[in-house]
Amino acid sequence: QAQLVESGGGLVQAGGALRLSCAASGSMHSITTMGWYRQAPMNQRELVASISPDGTASYIDSVKGRFTLTRDNAKNTVYLQMNSLKPEDISVYYCYANGIDGSRRGTYWGQGTQVTVSS
């Protein structure tokens, strides 16, 4: 059972856009930092973007100016708007959140969503 439910991945042409969503389960609360990692074949897992409770976002250099990370605290949901997609962005994207699930504090993960960019 995933504590975070991801959606929005898929296939898009180079230069196109996708929006990934990540919603925490109803049992999660007191969520602080949220964000997205990605891992492509033959590559290390890398932190793409993270966002603090006040909405301050940080990005890896390769996506700055193209990706925007936002959050809706009332819905315990984080969004990654990905514009001007490149083949280099092809990866499985994993959402994470720091928070409490029931009574247990930790870092929780989505199960991954595939982003494919075609030329």
What is the phi/psi pair of residue 13, to 5°? -75, 155
**CA–CA distance, 72 with 113 (Å, rounded to integer):** 20
**The pLDDT of residue 1:** 65
Number of other residues whose CB lies within 10 A of the CB of residue 39: 14
**The pLDDT of residue 3:** 87
Q: Which residue stretches of the chain have pLDDT < 70?
A: 1
Q: Among candidates 49, 55, 37, which has minimal Cα distance to 109? A: 37
